Structure 1
Amino acid sequence: MSTTRPLPEYPRPQLVRPEWLNLNGPWQFQAAGSGDAVPVRRTLRETVLVPFPVESALSGVARHEAAMWYRRTFTLPAGWTGRRVLLHFGAVDTVAAVYVNGRPVGTHRGGYDAFSFDITPQLVRGVNEVIVHVLDDTGEGGAPVGKQRLEPSGIFYAASSGIWQTVWLEPVAATHVSRLTLTPDVPGRALRATVQGTGQGRVHLTAKAGATVVGTATGELGQEIRLPVPAAHLWSPDDPFLYTLTVTVEQGGRTVDRVQSYFGMRSIGLATVNGWTRPVLNGKFVFQLGTLDQGYWPDGLYTAPTDDALKFDLVKHKELGFNMVRKHIKVEPQRWYYWADKLGLLVWQDMPSMMTELPVTPGAANEFVREYRRIIDQHRSSPAIVTWVNQNEGWGQFAQAPLAEAVRRWDPSRLVNNMSGINCCGARDGGNGDLADWHVYVGPSSPSPSARRAAVLGEFGGLGLRTPGHEWSPATSFSYEMQDTAADLNRRYLGLIGSLRPMIANAGLSAAIYTEITDVEGEVNGLLTYDRQVLKVDAARVRAAHRALIAASGAPSTRVPIRPGPVALGVPGGASFLLYTADPLQYGPLPASASVTDLLGATLVSVPGLADPTCTSFRSARDPQSYLRHRESLLHVEADDVTSLGFRQDATFCPQRSADGAGVTLVSYNFRAAAIRRYQGTLWLADPGGTQPWDGGSTYTRDVTWTIGAPPKP
């Protein structure tokens, strides 16, 4: 990594001009006091390496400051004379006031979106000075902060304050392109392009596949233009084909601006597939399997040390057979999305949350909405992004349903997730959007899809493995379920992936996101260590499991309907039954001279599922107010608590054809990987990949297989 010019790559891959000047590198720095005068032509006391957050080791400052000054000088290239000059910031956390040669040029609030100022009026010949005053309000509330905390612990991490993305200069004409909005219209065999810019001008668009021109179109700045793309080569994770796009602006027959871009042709939406509501990519359902990607690096925190480091995690996703990534509670530099577009990964993009510990004021909500709109506008041309995730687990939650409708208006071309983790942590489901999203640790499990929303598992897993010599904080390392060895981790992880397969076919699960791709600070849940030096899992076995799971997207359902009415749950090949004459429940044969009480103790009444009528609940034949349910891993018959959603879920089972074909398996509605198992004379809710004595093992398939028959008779 260069310490004089870090991150030298062009920072805006979808709107490229040949001339630019990178201002990354050493800047003067010092903490700011209240009432400070702008330090014009004054040497500041310290040096910071831009664009690394001041808390990061790479910045050279390595501490938090709530207010700070940045200063540097620059000289414009000779060839820029007579043109406008734009000063660009990829992102500054949180409030930036910018001065050029002592004169204010503008202020920006928001830590996750890019902004620019035309500094032409402030420029002088020769050496110019730029000063940036930054206020960071992490911990104060009122702005999206993601997982940043001044006192990081657990699942919250170090703050990343100040300038944290590339700073650069660019010469432009008075009339120039400022933003491209590129929306593929696969059914219409076209790209819908809006070229935003300053002034007025005639726009010419040329799309190429390699060296071959596939479409041209003309229009005006600020107006949508339809660019034909006949017989489109569709973009997908398995074939991430990108077209190149040249945009030219003319005035009076003279070219005044030309930029290079790219786009992908793909569609995303919802459709009914084999009776389930599914997300469909290019008209086809493909199970989306990815990880939670926090976007932290041990030396740079929010900022990757190099472009190769930024790309590295995405490459690992591809190598491990994932087809999706959830960018969690953070927005990345535009080059990250370029690599996702180019490598072929579907992206769920989270909006960074506000503080969980503070109430959401009207002003804070308005700021959240304004920043979210800008983020969507800046990244909406990426073909990789298929879902906007508005809020997470209720953190800083507000106006769930209205916000989802607003996002739909802003960008109707993508899916909207109103709340990831609607079952968790006090989250309130807005009831709209395209996805019903659960978080289950360790899991996996699945919500039920509806006619309007697909079912997704927004977070699961969190298996940990400590790796001495590669831990950020060995004394505080934690995970959701720690494994003792790499072999244990591989076995448990592959078991979780295997448990997803029946949920796809039988529960309508359409996506799953594992926590997480790398360790982060105290979390050791990663498939990779925080320093990216150690891959904890067997890459070949994991990739094979992932690719097989995705390939099974179209597998038929093995759900087995059970006719309502009296039934007995029997053991195949014998005369044993599920018995509820004792608690917890047991199984075995009826007495030789069975009484009416004995017979009723082996009889249940099948009814539509209390939590999901497409599944089944089993009512006691002796007490119509009591139902078969699981509690604390054991099976019981207990009185219905009609006010409890948890009871209704615990008392709902989704029968499916057993793996050995000898009967049915009664899968839990709310723990979709687990089923009713016979184990050492007692009935348990058991997970084939679980860690308890009653989980897994060589006899698991046999032990979870039941027959559904008529009740025994005297």
Structure 2
Amino acid sequence: MKRTSIRILTLITAAVSVLGVTNAASAEPVWKPRTPPLSTPWTRLVGPNNALPEYPRPQLTRDRWQNLNGVWEFAGAAAGEAPPIGQSLAERVLVPYPIESALSGIMRHEDRMWYRRTFTVPNDWRNNRVRLNFGAVDYDSVVWVNGRQVSTHRGGYDSFSVDITDALKSRGPQEVVVGVTDMTDKTWQPIGKQRNVPDKGIFYTSSSGIWQTVWLEPVASTSITQLDQTPKLADSTLRLTARTTGDTNGLTVEATAYDHNRVVGRATGAPNTELKVPVPHAKLWSPDSPFLYDLRVRLVRGHRTVDDVGSYFGMREVGMAPGADGKLRMTLNGKILFQMSTLDQGFWPDGIYTAPTDAALRFDLEQHKVLGFNTVRKHIKVEPDRWYYHADRLGLLVWQDMPAMRTGGTPPPDAQQQFETEMHTMVDKHKSDTSIVVWVPFNEGWGEWDRGATGRIADDVKKQDPTRLVNAHTGVNCCDSHGDSGRGDIIDYHQYVGPAAPVPSPTRVAVDGEHGGFGLEVKDHMWFGDGGAYEMEPDSATLTRRYVENQRDVMATAQRCGISAAVYTQITDVEHEVNGFFTYDRQVRKMDFPQVKAVNEAIIRTADGSGGGTAPGPGTPGPDGIAYYPFSEGTGTTTADALGHHNATLTGDATWTDGHPGSAVRFNGSTSTVDTGANVLDTNGNYTVAAWVKLDSLGGFATAVSQDGPDHSAFFLQYSGQDNRFAFSFAGVRALAPSAPDTGRWYHLVGVRDARAGSLTLYVDGQQAGAASMCDGGPGAGNTVIGRAKYNGGPVDFWRGAIDQVHLFDRALPAGEVAALYNSGR
């Protein structure tokens, strides 16, 4: 048995054992860490006395607080079970590590669970209210203090707080019991990449229960609960609202901004109203200069301070503007800045959803800077507040995804409403983080229920936070997507290995939301016995070379097509995925980092909106094109190019049949092609492809005409079995006909590529049937082929049926000429 298989067997065996109970019935249960399949450099540093001891809320700090992280009692629970008030539980768990993690000491999933511990309240807190704070608990939680229910909360990614003063005893130990239910993907709750049964693919181990810091703090009966901060560069102010709870009569908010110890601005006003704090000659925050101002906010009554909190902020502004080439691009502080990002999943082999230490939490972000990235896409997970604090301090732009619901099916109305509630809570709680520049409601259609609803949600987020860009649907061209709603500030395509090349519109910038995914297995640093990626490489040198080549394609796409950002998959390996710069345990660098940094910084430096490339020429005039295959021979294995010198060969049992009219070629759906032996079309420019086609059967892809590229066809004039419609496609995007075709009937298909407009247009029987936008379909230096396509390096999508009268043009035909071509062949 392989060593990795033994590890997995050990993990499974551990999952069904009871931790911490010795053979002696009288022995006190103790916490013990489990052994994860992989250990990070920080695993051994974690213990009962140092479980994330840092203050957890950097944008609202108080001097006095008590950390409740550490060893708690634990037990699995049954539905409807009474809370174990005053009862000792059999196991010990280390909070705040999710129970599936090795660091928790439990290392198994429970749908329902109990946590219990005692604490004491410091004597000098007696004249204050005491609040119990939870960073995050996944998913439904109920809290009791001294047997009294004090709180319920739903949502696995947001903090919540409760005043427990009235439930406290006057002295001595106080008991807190937390009941948690987390069904993960058995329900429609937002879960991101979590699954009860992780697969050898893109879904990972679940994280249940308390997974962020728990703490106490003393506050006044009237106190500050949140600081809403919005920098305004136009008048060099910070717009600040101090939200409060309690009686605010006679209270004033005093806010003071500092450049280190120097006061730069002050403002006073009423609680729960917006103040303008002046920040003259502001030092702007950016990835190259992530300057942060300190902030002190006091709640005062007369000369008496009622509450006093600390915070910080950065002065920066996010927007869009056209470049010199006229294409709309993202801006930071009024200047075009290409956002070069990784996909960051936020998973750990020892803590799963929770980084083992604060240094570990910071490490992944620090390595982004080492690698020359200026942006992080936080992929369908919301991190603890300290993660955003580190991003703010390091100078990393952040795209914040909303954690997705599960894939497959349509969520019911109550789940839809809960998703929106949690999404708006996420925006509300993180809208003061300097680093966040983009909100992303949906990923690849996961959990999406309606395209119109997606557009409405994007509008709602923009209304809630008009200071940031909204990416309504990252990967709108992919997977479970219901299609482009046309809303938000961004059109976002995914393409592996890519890069994706959507085209900006007058109102929306275009981005490559995911690309890359080059993989390398590293022995003894694998979660499973094998790993997967979108393209596997044999060694580090090849992996680095392919990354650099791919990023040079990103550079060309940014200059020529006007994309504003690109997201590479990904910063670290995660479970079965081995496409990271680091192994999952963060122990091994898998690429040559100086080469990675050099090409990333070159992209950021050169993708400045100045444009590149030359405009397509006018092409060859006339109604026939530059190559025409009328298939008039009716016999033999060669068919003539009636216009040029690219005679084609029938291969793979392609045969002759009745045409439209005359003769045509019949294709068997598995081996038959007509190969022109040349790359007839310059796929970097304008072109048009036309053919009469007839299908024998529906279902599955079938391509009538394509032109080979290194990995994929540069274009596909095809039938899409996924959509049951005709299409003119690039890899990752399709211009689709509105309805399904019939078998046994001749159709005239025309695909028009307008390179300047970045458009693909499909015509069926002389009428426009569909359109899509994409800057290019990748290189197409291979042969033009009739009857099949190329994808992932090999031949695919063989035509099943007949094809006749294939025309190839080196220009984009207008609608009138397409109609004339159709009428000429009827």
- Same fold by TM-score, threshold 0.5 exceeded? yes
Q: Secondary structure at the match of 2:150?
A: strand
Structure 2 residue aligned with 1:294: 345
Q: Structure 2: which 5+ residue stretches go unaligned? A: 1-44, 632-639, 649-683, 693-702, 736-750, 758-771, 796-809, 812-826
Structure 2 residue aligned with 1:248: 298
TM-aligned CA distance change 1:114 to 1:212, over 3 Å? same
Structure 2 residue aligned with 1:449: 504
Structure 2 residue aligned with 1:703: none
Query: What code does the residue aligned with 1:184 have?
Result: P
TM-aligned CA distance change 1:137 to 1:686, over 3 Å? closer
CA drift at 1:175: 1.1
Select between 359-368 and 331-340 the one with higher mean Cα deviation: 359-368
Query: What code does the residue aligned with 2:189 have?
Result: A
Q: 2:412, 2:457 → 1: CA distance?
A: 15
Structure 1 residue aligned with 2:443: 392
* Contact 2:560/2:611 (<8 A) preserved: yes
Of 126, 141, 145, 2:187 maps to 141
* Contact 1:320/1:542 (<8 A) preserved: yes
Of 310, 316, 319, 2:367 maps to 316
Q: How does 1:393-472 map to 2 (within 5 A)?
A: 393-398=444-449, 399-428=453-482, 429-472=484-527
TM-aligned CA distance change 1:580 to 1:466, over 3 Å? farther
Of 217, 225, 236, 2:267 maps to 217
Matched, 1:654 2:755: yes
* Contact 2:405/2:447 (<8 A) preserved: yes
Q: Secondary structure at the match of 2:549?
A: helix
Structure 1 residue aligned with 2:207: 160
CA deviation map 1:210-231 (0-9, x unaligned): 2221110001110011111111
CA deviation map 1:296-345 (0-9, x unaligned): 00000000000000000000000000000000010000000000000000
CA drift at 1:2: 3.7
Select between 627-636 and 60-69 the one with higher mean Cα deviation: 627-636
Q: 2:338, 2:704 → 1: CA distance?
A: 34
Q: 1:120, 1:639 → 2: CA distance?
A: 68
Q: Secondary structure at the match of 2:429?
A: helix
Q: Secondary structure at the match of 1:355?
A: coil
TM-aligned CA distance change 1:126 to 1:246, over 3 Å? same
Of 14, 39, 45, 2:59 maps to 14
Q: 2:167, 2:278 → 1: CA distance?
A: 43
* Contact 1:500/1:673 (<8 A) preserved: no
CA deviation map 1:317-376 (0-9, x unaligned): 000000000000100000000000000000000000111134211110111111111111
Q: 1:463, 1:637 → 2: CA distance?
A: 25
Of 220, 227, 234, 1:187 maps to 234
Matched, 1:169 2:224: no
TM-aligned CA distance change 1:100 to 1:539, over 3 Å? same
* Contact 1:504/1:553 (<8 A) preserved: yes
* Contact 1:444/1:672 (<8 A) preserved: no
TM-aligned CA distance change 1:67 to 1:596, over 3 Å? closer
Query: What code does the residue aligned with 2:433 have?
Result: S
Structure 2 residue aligned with 1:374: 425
Q: 2:315, 2:157 → 1: CA distance?
A: 27
Structure 2 residue aligned with 1:531: 585
Q: 1:216, 1:265 → 2: CA distance?
A: 16
Q: Secondary structure at the match of 1:249?
A: strand
- The size of the alignment, in residue pairs, is 651
Query: What code does the residue aligned with 1:616 have?
Result: N
Query: What code does the residue aligned with 1:4 have?
Result: P
TM-aligned CA distance change 1:52 to 1:508, over 3 Å? same
* Contact 1:286/1:550 (<8 A) preserved: yes
* Contact 2:497/2:515 (<8 A) preserved: yes
Structure 1 residue aligned with 2:673: none
Query: What code does the residue aligned with 1:460 have?
Result: H
Query: What code does the residue aligned with 1:411 have?
Result: D
TM-aligned CA distance change 1:678 to 1:101, over 3 Å? closer
Q: Secondary structure at the match of 1:310?
A: helix
Q: 1:552, 1:563 → 2: CA distance?
A: 26
TM-aligned CA distance change 1:639 to 1:646, over 3 Å? closer
Q: Structure 1: which 5+ residue stretches go unaligned? A: 569-576, 584-593, 603-613, 657-667, 694-707, 710-714
* Contact 2:438/2:468 (<8 A) preserved: yes
Matched, 1:102 2:102: no
Matched, 1:502 2:585: no
After TM superposition, the score normalised by the length of structure 1 is: 0.85
* Contact 1:677/1:685 (<8 A) preserved: no
CA drift at 1:675: 2.4
* Contact 1:463/1:479 (<8 A) preserved: yes
Q: 1:686, 1:549 → 2: CA distance?
A: 29
CA drift at 1:644: 1.8
Q: 1:581, 1:643 → 2: CA distance?
A: 21
Q: 2:433, 2:719 → 1: CA distance?
A: 50
Q: 2:728, 2:78 → 1: CA distance?
A: 53
Q: Secondary structure at the match of 1:646?
A: strand
Matched, 1:677 2:721: no
Matched, 1:644 2:727: yes
CA deviation map 1:163-197 (0-9, x unaligned): 00000000001111100100011112111101001
Query: What code does the residue aligned with 1:121 have?
Result: D
Structure 1 residue aligned with 2:763: none
* Contact 1:180/1:194 (<8 A) preserved: yes
Q: 2:716, 2:312 → 1: CA distance?
A: 61
* Contact 1:559/1:655 (<8 A) preserved: no
TM-aligned CA distance change 1:328 to 1:557, over 3 Å? same
* Contact 1:446/1:456 (<8 A) preserved: yes
* Contact 1:675/1:686 (<8 A) preserved: no
Q: 2:301, 2:716 → 1: CA distance?
A: 80
CA deviation map 1:633-665 (0-9, x unaligned): 568997999952427767526389xxxxxxxxx
Q: 1:43, 1:561 → 2: CA distance?
A: 76
Q: Secondary structure at the match of 2:184?
A: coil
Matched, 1:81 2:126: yes
CA deviation map 1:268-300 (0-9, x unaligned): 011222211111110011110111000000000
CA deviation map 1:522-550 (0-9, x unaligned): 11011110000001010111111111110
Q: 2:386, 2:714 → 1: CA distance?
A: 52
Q: 2:293, 2:630 → 1: CA distance?
A: 68
Q: Secondary structure at the match of 1:677?
A: coil
* Contact 1:677/1:686 (<8 A) preserved: no
Q: Secondary structure at the match of 2:497?
A: coil
TM-aligned CA distance change 1:95 to 1:485, over 3 Å? same
* Contact 1:520/1:530 (<8 A) preserved: yes
Q: How does 1:227-266 map to 2 (within 5 A)?
A: 227-266=277-316
CA drift at 1:679: 7.6
Query: What code does the residue aligned with 2:516 have?
Result: G
Q: Secondary structure at the match of 1:230?
A: coil
CA drift at 1:600: 11
Structure 2 residue aligned with 1:704: none
